[in-house]
A and B are shown apart, each in its own frame.
Chain A
């Protein structure tokens, strides 16, 4: 076995091998993770492993080539350099293509590597998984089994270096839990889900996970197919995050520049209700999406996307920024295995006031959507068509009513933004890194019977 190099050392070594006419960028990473699942009061499976990855991007005269591998073996790495070199000869010259050049933005200097997660023992993992299952079972007589109760933790290290002088290194860990109880009533079965993630084990809220997961399953018992009508929908925070994530995707530089966004060429226009303020803020350590650097090694920064309904910015990596004639917004997203794309790190909205019940009271009638499915099949971020399967509860006379299922909700992304009528005060950071609250959107088509 060859000597195991530290990642920054490895990355710098590879960068030093670049030829004079080459821009070369190296990403290397090492991750280890363990997942324990419980079933019937016992450990069902323990899965652990270590993975490595390397990605090398070379640009010569506006031509880009990339190669990656799941290994840090020195022989594999030198092959990657050769492959990236060969690949770039087939790319056409693009004057905007290139690796990121350092800018003068100072990274937020967040401490994201809490060692507590490294202290977790095999025993603790199993006990939490088993506890999650058992607590779901004992919290409601209608919960008769739990499909999956899982604990995961992991630690990752990442280094990026390039011929433009960028050299960064980061490491950190996280842990998460998730549970799927089954609630049964007669012939009917409903499956619930809830989970949590954090950088420290003691920051996980197991009480909340159990309560939410069980409520998710039992609350849907007796759900029926609703009548079709035009109404106001209230998205619970995770659904709101999925909706806003789709919007943010249509505000990324690559989509906008290439004419694949309904929001292209609309900076400064009122594209949403004045109630909506949307931004991406990876500098906020409260979010699990927080980071000091983006996927090209530039400092992350807070980017305002929509301010009081007005489109204020698009997100860019260094390539899309060069094409648009602006500065990168530090929004490159990637793993060592891929070329940098553009995306959100920690999407947030500014919450309204009042709890969810106040929101229902304000709406009067409509539906409360607890979950959607088919986001990948019924939402077209180019045309803006939005149609997804939905389940949740009716809102009647300003209060939460009976559950519904087997329905869809539909509108267009463009209309929905303008139709935001209220934003809840129930702000929370989700395990995905988004900071969101419930949002109410008027004039949506509910299709059922």
Chain B
């Protein structure tokens, strides 16, 4: 292949031919998605480089639609013959419609990288130094730190999307991430602490972020938890620290606002546009254009430019998120939320960067006004049943709040709530907005990078899944 920076991943004519082949059985619409992904990661464990690995993937997925039916075939054979065969396979699965001539491809089909320093251009020895430095900082924090794993990963993903509406768009996405996991050993067993930094940037990530400070925070978390007591069991007010709790909204309502789930009746938020679904202080946004955040992409995986979508405004449900298929059948514009894990997958409606905007309260007042409750400083992942709205999310660093003050650290556990209930019971929102750690959102077996964020806020009641009565 050897596509240079300034030429498309695959030549325009080859793509145009593949689209024509894809439409040859009477397809109504067809798309070629090309992906070239190069990634590398290094795991530093037990004080040494355990494995340095690199990987390369190049392939294409071809999609044809007729009415509500979709045919899709993927291939790693990028020769014109390989693409043609995939186009035929996709066409065979979606037959019938009228003879439609594809629109000539517009656009350049090229994109510039937004990374200042492409990670692949950085000597591997420098990456190893970075890992060593992080490891040492974590170990030096406390003698009780018995294990440290530092993981560095970089990925460059170039995509090209072309369809019979004439779309011929590309994006060049680079993500860089470093995570540190510490194990502390104490009288009551082992505890863990974790910290991650990752953005849609190149190696300049480390000019702006102090990995040693991050390592000390991760170590501190594990140490603090050595004296943690079992979390309460039952319902309590919960204050969630800024940045840490975006995943709550991702689960509480984000998934339920994905148009594919809404259309199939699998969301508690179906038929509720225009209704008050949350406390009036809640404004929820999904924004794929958001700077260098983890979920940022210039175009989604259907070639549609990403944008800022307000989903809930002052508590009122304003819109769902859309992909090509769903927006087309509703006769409305797409919202830039059609994403896929790789060229081997069909796109679905997915979130990008999802966040709640600032309120007016001072974060310290939110804590002081909480008589008894739980303060969650860091969250793990979460999961939702969109049909009922019940969702869980893990707390990996949490404390009791007693008489308006943060007190004892708590052991890990899940919290459970119901999306629509929780949204209505957001009591107060702080003025200290921050984005959280990079995440991977899983849906129907596909993982995509997402970001989330929120100011410090309090939910009137969530069920804490601890063991202390």
List chain A positions with a Cβ less than 8 A from chain B: 1, 39-40, 42-52, 64-71, 76, 79, 83, 86-88, 90-92, 94, 122, 144-145, 147-148, 180, 182, 184, 188-191, 225, 228, 230, 258-260, 262, 337-339, 373-374, 376-378, 380, 382-385, 387-389, 391, 405-411, 445-449
Contacts and interface: CB of A to CB of B under 8 A. Distances in A.
Task: Determine which residue in A64, A380, A384 has the highest number of CB atoms from chain B within 10 A of its CB, and name it.
Answer: A380
Contact of A147 (B125, B266, B268): B266
Task: Determine which residue in B55, B74, B261, B467 has the highest number of CB atoms from chain A within 10 A of its CB, and name it.
Answer: B467
B103 interface: no
B74 A51 contact: yes
Contacts, number: 267
20 contacts: A64-B50, A66-B54, A69-B56, A70-B76, A71-B56, A145-B265, A189-B265, A189-B266, A338-B53, A339-B53, A376-B381, A380-B192, A382-B191, A383-B225, A385-B411, A385-B412, A406-B390, A408-B414, A410-B231, A447-B416
Interface stretch (B63-71, B197-205, B304-312): B63-71
B51 A83 contact: no
Contact of B264 (A42, A88, A145, A447): A145
Interface in B32-66: 42, 45-46, 48-59, 61
A33 to B, nearest CB: 9
Contact of B54 (A47, A67, A189, A405): A67
Interface string B231-242: 101110000000
B71 A377 contact: no
Interface residues of B, number: 83
A259 B53 CA distance: 24
Given A48-B89, A64-B51, A373 B466 contact: no
B361 interface: no
Contact of A91 (B50, B94, B192): B50
Given A182-B387, A377-B381, A228 B414 contact: no
B76 A447 contact: no
Given A1-B81, A189-B387, A408-B463, A49 B75 contact: yes
Contacts of B346: 45, 47
B190 A68 contact: no
B166 to A, nearest CB: 24
Given A71-B76, A189-B265, A387-B394, 10 more contacts: A66-B52, A94-B50, A258-B147, A262-B190, A377-B414, A378-B414, A388-B465, A389-B392, A406-B388, A445-B467
B56 A70 contact: yes
A445 B469 contact: yes
B209 interface: no
Task: Determine which residue in B147, B412, B465 has the highest number of CB atoms from chain A within 10 A of its CB, and name it.
Answer: B465
Interface in B337-392: 344, 346, 379-383, 385-388, 390-392
A387 B234 contact: no
B418 interface: yes
B414 A337 contact: no
Chain B at the A interface: SS class: strand
Contacts of B7: none
Closest 4 CB pairs of A and B: A408-B465, A377-B394, A378-B414, A387-B413
A70 B58 CA distance: 7
Nearest to B35: A70
Given A44-B68, A387-B466, A389-B392, A258 B45 contact: yes
B72 interface: yes
Contact of B234 (A88, A122, A339, A449): A449
B393 interface: yes
B416 A408 contact: yes
Nearest to B49: A91
B144 interface: no
A69 B412 contact: no
Contact of A405 (B51, B53, B72, B390): B390
Given A45-B346, A64-B51, A448-B234, A90 B69 contact: no
Contact of A410 (B55, B386, B466): B466
A392 B386 CA distance: 17
Given A92-B48, A378-B465, A49 B387 contact: no
A49 B73 contact: yes
A407 B463 contact: yes
B298 interface: no
B282 interface: no
Contacts of B54: 66-68, 83, 87
A189 B51 contact: no
A58 B41 CA distance: 16
A429 B55 CA distance: 35
